Amino acid sequence: MNLAEIKKLIEIFNHSEITRLSLKQNDFELKLDKQTACNPMPLAQPITPIAQPTIQNAPQSTSHTPAPTQTHSESGDFITSPMVGTFYRCPSPDAAPYVNVGDTIKKGQTIGIIEAMKIMNEIEAEYDCKILALEVNDAQPVEYGTKLIKVEKI
């Protein structure tokens, strides 16, 4: 398979309703997998040396979680991303979000997870606080230092 054929196959996969595809031809193997919002990969996932593209146009799940209040304000206290990855508000598609606006949380309480290189990293509050606003959407890519949640220290 040449590069043009692989790119075309990925494009077709991205625009289809197929969520998983595995193709093997001689010594070549391609595995594609889509993830939906609030549906991170399981914590114990074997590492595969095959490149898997990130799907930016993954279908949004119809979840019972409300859309985050996005303020993107510059002042105040924030819980920020310690790494590059994808932020998830809930542990699984059927579960409630870790935190919501108005919640009071304790130091060490999980506020979300960031998937980085197929590893789920729990993000914890560094101090007791009240959630004022959610700054990023579920399943949104984040970078180091991205403001995840605006909080008020208590």
- Please indicate, yes or no, whether residues 24 and 85 belong to a single structural domain of this protein: no
User: pLDDT exceeding 70 applies to what percent of the chain?
Assistant: 72
**Range in 11-20, 46-55, 95-104, 125-134 with the lowest mean pLDDT:** 46-55
- Judge whether residue 62 has pLDDT over 50: no
- Judge whether residue 133 has pLDDT over 70: yes
- Report the distance separating Cα 64 and Cα 56, nearest Å: 22
Q: How many CA atoms lie within 13 A of 2 on its CB side?
A: 1
Question: Residue 19 belongs to what domain range?
Answer: 3-33
Residue 124 sits in a domain whose CATH number is 2.40.50.100
Whether residue 101 is contained in a domain is answered as: yes
Q: What's residue 57's pLDDT?
A: 47
With 0.75 as the threshold, say if the pTM is over it: no
Closest CA to 67 of 112, 100, 40, 109: 100
- Please indicate, yes or no, whether residues 84 and 149 belong to a single structural domain of this protein: yes
Q: Are 89 and 136 in contact (CB under 8 A)?
A: no
- Please indicate, yes or no, whether residues 20 and 86 belong to a single structural domain of this protein: no
Q: Where does the pLDDT of residue 114 fall: very low under 50, low under 70, confident under 90, or very high at 90 and above?
A: very high
Work out the average pLDDT over 110-136. Answer: 93
Whether residue 89 is contained in a domain is answered as: yes
For the chain, what is the mean pLDDT? 77
Which of 6 and 105 is assigned the larger pLDDT? 105
Q: What's residue 35's pLDDT?
A: 64
- Please indicate, yes or no, whether residues 27 and 82 belong to a single structural domain of this protein: no
- Report the distance separating Cα 150 and Cα 129, nearest Å: 10
Work out the average pLDDT over 107-126. Answer: 92
Work out the average pLDDT over 47-60. Answer: 48
Q: What's residue 31's pLDDT?
A: 80
- Judge whether residue 37 has pLDDT over 70: no
Q: Are 51 and 124 in contact (CB under 8 A)?
A: no
Domain count within the chain = 2
Work out the average pLDDT over 107-121. Answer: 92
- Please indicate, yes or no, whether residues 86 and 149 belong to a single structural domain of this protein: yes
Q: What's residue 36's pLDDT?
A: 53
Whether residue 17 is contained in a domain is answered as: yes
Whether residue 40 is contained in a domain is answered as: no
- Please indicate, yes or no, whether residues 28 and 83 belong to a single structural domain of this protein: no
Whether residue 51 is contained in a domain is answered as: no
